[in-house]
Structures are given as C-alpha cells and as structure tokens.
Amino acid sequence: MGTSVNQLIRDYLEQRCGKIDPAEYAGEFERLSQGDSRGWKFNREELHERP
C-alpha cells in the first residue's frame, strides 16, 4: 500500500476521533494559561473520587 503502519494507525485514529485542529488547542491553552477557566475551579476531592 506504500504506507507505514504508523501512518495507518494515525489515519484510523483521526477517523475515529475526528480531525484535531492544532490552532483550537493552542487557543484553549492560551486562554487557560491566562487564568480564564470560565468559572471552573480545581477540586482535589473530585480528582480523587472513585466511581
């Protein structure tokens, strides 16, 4: 097929999960790094909850 196994897996995951937009993730990182969490607060108890 002329394609590496790595590329086949990457293509499969992109089809299953949707195409990742690096600009969107960069914008989200920038927003969060400036302290704009849209009201979300870190909660240690929730982090350690077991289902």
Q: Please indicate, yes or no, if residue 3 is contained in any of the structural domains.
A: yes
**Could you tell me the pTM of the whole model?**
0.36
Long-range contact set of residues 6-15: C-beta below 8 Å, sequence gap at least 24: none
pLDDT at 4 (0 to 100): 92
Q: Please indicate, yes or no, if residue 13 is contained in any of the structural domains.
A: yes
Tokens 């195409």 belong to which residue?
A: 19
Domain count, the chain: 1
Q: Please indicate, yes or no, if residue 48 is contained in any of the structural domains.
A: no
pLDDT digits (tens, 9 = 90+) for 1-50: 688 999 898 888 888 887 777 888 788 888 778 776 777 777 788 878 88
Burial class (CB in 10 A: 0-12, 13-18, 19+), 9: exposed
Q: Please indicate, yes or no, if residue 1 is contained in any of the structural domains.
A: yes
Parent domain of 22: 1-34
Distance CA 10, CA 4 (A): 10
Q: Please indicate, yes or no, if residue 40 is contained in any of the structural domains.
A: no
Decide: helix, strand or coil at residue 8: helix
